[in-house]
């Protein structure tokens, strides 16, 4: 029990940091589980790895509650209308991932391995570096500037994240920037897209769970969610502050280096 709680804390920290940074939370969770040789416990189950994300979602809701709340008495009629419009764009952008994600939900489990993760880490790392070097014009500087066409295009980019190691936030941020969004709008829209998508995936995993969780498993899961919530609060604040002054190239370099290290590590362990 203690060991599972400890693993849950570690994975909660990893989830909280990597869910919002464009470096792939699922990829890091898979890799950390392999490094811990955590191949059979509850903390390595698909149920745990997806439902723990609920803690990260709550961090977004907490930090952006006023901005996300269309019923806030502190908002003017125009601001409430703008908030509803933003939510409709989020819902539209979620449709591609909801449809394709449901169809490929079980199939993509076969790709949750270090080979796929290392490849996607490197590929999208290079993509970030290239896009940042060419990213100059930002026609979309606020959510009001964003059209529904732009929202659906970003949603199509989000579909790429069903491949482990891609990064949901990374795919949506890259897509948004390619379409002409500012870094700030790209990052925040990625946060908001996560709410229905991650909530839906978590509920799906709970609903399709074919066995009754024990009290210990619930304790392990809740521990991971709480840790993910606390760490996510810090990670989101960091990313928002970072993109105001810097670009995303550092995350691209990080992904490439990590991908190479992963290949080297697992190649060596295979040979030894």
Task: Report whether 217 contacts 209 (CB < 8 A).
Answer: no
Comparison of pLDDT for 7 and 106, the residue scoring more: 7
**Every domain of the chain and the residues it spans:** 2-271
Residue 62: Cβ within 10 Å count? 12
Global pTM value: 0.85
Residue 71 banded pLDDT, cuts 50, 70, 90? very high
Give the Cα separation of 141 and 177 in Å (integer).
Answer: 11
Tokens 């491949």 correspond to 163
User: What's the confidence (pLDDT) of residue 237?
Assistant: 94
Tokens 């697992």 correspond to 266
For the cut 90, the answer to whether the pLDDT of residue 255 exceeds it is yes
Partners of residue 181 on adjacent β-strands:
140
DSSP single-letter state for residue 21: T
User: What's the confidence (pLDDT) of residue 202?
Assistant: 79
* 40 phi/psi in degrees, rounded to 5: -125, -20
């Amino acid at each position: 029990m203690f060991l599972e709680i400890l693993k849950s804390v570690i994975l909660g920290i990893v989830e909280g940091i990597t869910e919002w940074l464009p470096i792939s939370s699922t990829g890091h969770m898979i890799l950390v589980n392999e490094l811990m040789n955590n191949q059979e416990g509850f903390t390595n189950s698909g149920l745990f790895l997806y439902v723990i994300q609920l803690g990260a979602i709550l961090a977004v809701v907490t930090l952006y509650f006023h901005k996300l709340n269309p019923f806030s008495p502190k908002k003017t009629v125009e601001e409430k209308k703008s908030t509803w419009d933003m939510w409709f764009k989020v819902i539209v952008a979620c449709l591609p991932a909801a449809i394709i994600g449901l169809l490929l939900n079980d199939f993509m489990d076969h790709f949750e391995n270090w080979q796929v993760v290392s490849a996607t880490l490197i590929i999208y790392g290079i993509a970030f570096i290239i896009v940042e070097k060419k990213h100059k014009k930002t026609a979309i500087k606020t959510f009001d500037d964003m059209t529904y066409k732009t929202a659906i295009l970003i949603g199509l980019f989000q579909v790429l994240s069903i491949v482990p190691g891609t990064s949901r936030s990374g795919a949506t941020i890259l897509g948004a920037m390619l379409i002409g969004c500012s870094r700030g709008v790209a990052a925040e829209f990625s946060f908001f897209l996560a709410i229905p998508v991650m909530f839906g995936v978590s509920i799906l995993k709970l609903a399709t769970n074919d066995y009754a969780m024990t009290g210990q498993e619930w304790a392990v899961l809740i521990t991971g969610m709480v840790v993910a919530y606390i760490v996510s609060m810090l990670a989101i604040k960091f990313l928002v502050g970072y993109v105001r002054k810097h670009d995303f190239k550092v995350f691209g370099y990080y992904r490439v280096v990590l991908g190479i290290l992963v290949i080297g590590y697992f190649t060596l362990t295979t040979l030894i």
